[in-house]
Amino acid sequence: MNDGTKYSQQDIVLIPFPYSDLTGAKQRPALVLSNKLVKGEDLICCLITSKKTEECITIEQKDCEEGELPFSSFIKCYRLFTIHRRIIKKKMCKLNNKLFDKVVSELVQHIQRN
Question: pLDDT value at position 3?
Answer: 52
CB atoms inside a 10 Å sphere around CB 11: 23
What parts of the chain have a pLDDT lower than 50? Answer: none
Which residues are paired to 83 by β-bridges? 43
What is the rounded CA–CA span in Å between residue 45 and residue 104? 12
DSSP 69: -
pTM assigned to the model: 0.90
Q: Return the beta strands (E) in 33-87 as ranges.
A: 42-49, 57-59, 64-67, 73-84
Residue ranges and CATH numbers for the domains of the chain are: 11-111 (2.30.30.110)
Query: Tell me: the pLDDT tens digits for 57-75?
Result: 999 999 999 999 988 999 9
Provide the pLDDT for residue 27.
93
**What is the C-alpha to C-alpha distance for residues 45 and 47, in angstroms, rounded to an integer?**
7
Using one digit for the tens of pLDDT, what is the confidence trace for 2-14?
555 689 999 999 9
Handedness of CA 18, 21, 24, 27 (dihedral sign): negative
